[in-house]
Structure formats: C-alpha cells, structure tokens
Structure 1
C-alpha cells in the first residue's frame, strides 16, 4: 500500500458507478461495498434525466471508458465529483488526448482488485491522480516524442495550469491554490489533476520532478 493509502479519510465515501457492463458493475458494487472507506454505492442508469444531479451527489465517480463521453451531457462539468475512468488501452483509444473530459484518475480493468480500488479512492480524495504505471509511461513517452528541446512544446500547459503548477511546486495544497487563484477548491483540484495527467505523474512530487526536467519550472 502506498503512503497515501495509509491515510484515514474524514468520512466514508459515497461512490457512484457509471458502467454499462453488468458483470463489471456487479463486481465493482461488491468490491466497493466491502471497503471501510466506502459508505454508499450508487449504480447509475445510462439513460434518463437528472444524471448530473445524481453524479454530483457522490464524492467519487467511477466511469467505464466506454461511458466517459456521457459526461459531456452534464450541464456543469466543473461541479462533478472526483472522476476515475476504468478501462485499458486508454492512450490508444483517444490517441493520447485524455484531458478533454473530466478525469482525476484511472483504473486498469485488467489489474483491478479490492486493494487497488481502496488505494485509488484514498489517493484521489487527497488530490493525487491514481494512474496505472503502464499508462503513465505511455503518456510520458508520447509527451516527449519528437525530441523537442522545449518542455513547453513537449508538455503544453494552459496559462492557468502554469499558474497552478508554480503554486503546486511551492508546496501549496488544493485549498491554498484555489484561494490564490480565486477559484473553487474543486476547480483547483481539476487543474492539478490535468497537470498530473499531462505530465504522466501519479503524485505531486513526481510532477514537480518531471516539470523541472522538462523546463516547465
């Protein structure tokens, strides 16, 4: 278990599941219910009104890669809970563009286990980005492709992400970043998540190291 996995949560989590496969959905429901970190599990319907509200009531959303695009229909994407995408071969599926939709972490379906779920839930609630090592390596390889000398070209961050990254590198928490940038804590969490994803980093420390090597800091 990682260091993050050893942290105690303030309260049991409400986890929403948006997965079409009945087999995968049932397995997730049973595994999540067995975790002391989870207080409630809601299996969401794929069709019908009120999806945004039902998702927004949860602390964490686990969505299958095939259903990820359904989040585009949500009226307020910034108000979504921490979102983890479940699937394999994600880099190839979206040609490396994994930040166009809300995401705070990834789960490998092939390597999924109760322990992996517990660890990922703890980490995502702490502002880290759970990500399979194979996907992290693929993102890094893709981001550094072409042999560009400039880290800014190899790993393009938006101006807002650059601001947040500088504050992150100074050791600020999501709450402190939000206060400094004049945005919500959830907005800050989204920025940090996007930064970690683009850098192929699973936590803040590795993001800073990658940023320094790439010339972003």
Structure 2
C-alpha cells in the first residue's frame, strides 16, 4: 500500500515501481497501465509513478492501479515477449484543507432575562469535512464578557439585570462566534433579544 497525502500537487512523483526479469540480468522491461489510468502516469523505462489528478480524501480514499511489465530484446524472436502484472493500492491520507461548515450562519433567539446562566441560548450546527475537532470562540468585543461558549452552545455568564436603580443590561445583542478547526475558521452570528422579566412567586389558586 502506498500512502499519499491529499494535498500532493498534480505532476508530483509519488513513488517508483521496481520490476525484475529473473531470466535476463539486464532487466529489459517496459512498464505500463494495461487498462489505462487517468489519475496516474508511469515512466515505462524507469518506473517513476506520477500523480496526474487532484486528490480529495472526502471524495475517494483508495485507488487500485494495475501495472504491467513486458520483457523485450531478449530473444532471437523479438515478438516472443512475456508479461507480468501487479496491483498497487494507493491510500489517500486526510489533510486539513477545508474550513468548518456551519448551517445556518446566523441565529435569532428571544430569551427572558431570568434565563439561568449556563443554559444554552443557541447551539451551533457545525461540522468539519476533515473530521477535525472544532472550537468555538466569541470574537466581538462588546459581548465577550456577557456570554460564553460551552462547546458549540452559547450561554450567558450570569443573569441579566434590568433594575432601574442598578446595572441595566442591553436588550439586543449581536454575538459573533468564530468556529475553528485549528487551521481554518468560519464566523457565525447570533442575534439575541432579551425580554426583561421580574421573578415573581406564582399565585396559589383557590380550591373550593
């Protein structure tokens, strides 16, 4: 099996195929792909194997390439040739070459001011095509200290305050969240509307 990273460029040398003719010490062999192969090319004399396409791990992880060797210039009868063939498995190795995919890219949520801290307000729906772990970070400075991320869930750090004589929080927040796989990132925006609400004890009903 021949492992090849998916970010190898087209035209790159990816390996050398060695063939031996046991009954002729000069190894007069010619190599080829008997069925043709558009993804790779091979030098018929030296056996150098080249990549002739773009690799994408997310689309295809393995290639099976049949290589044929034909002997020549070894007999009085030049048409008397023998062939041998083998299969080479080329394994495409995953490389982090895609940004996280988030759908949707924006969220709207209406919450009451009495929502407890740590309760998810929105949970992002994001995946990584390269299967790398994702990390979400709040990036807009105005609300960095008001909210926090727990995994891919946005929560408040504490209760909102709407006391006329005390701290009075805003009722509209725009939160920008960066979702990163360690190399690439995608931005998501959450629009949060807070409805001020007093915490009151429920009235007990009368029973007849």
**TM-score by structure 2 length?**
0.18
Which structure dedicates a bigger proportion of its chain to strand?
2
Which structure dedicates a bigger proportion of its chain to helix?
1
**TM-score by structure 1 length?**
0.18
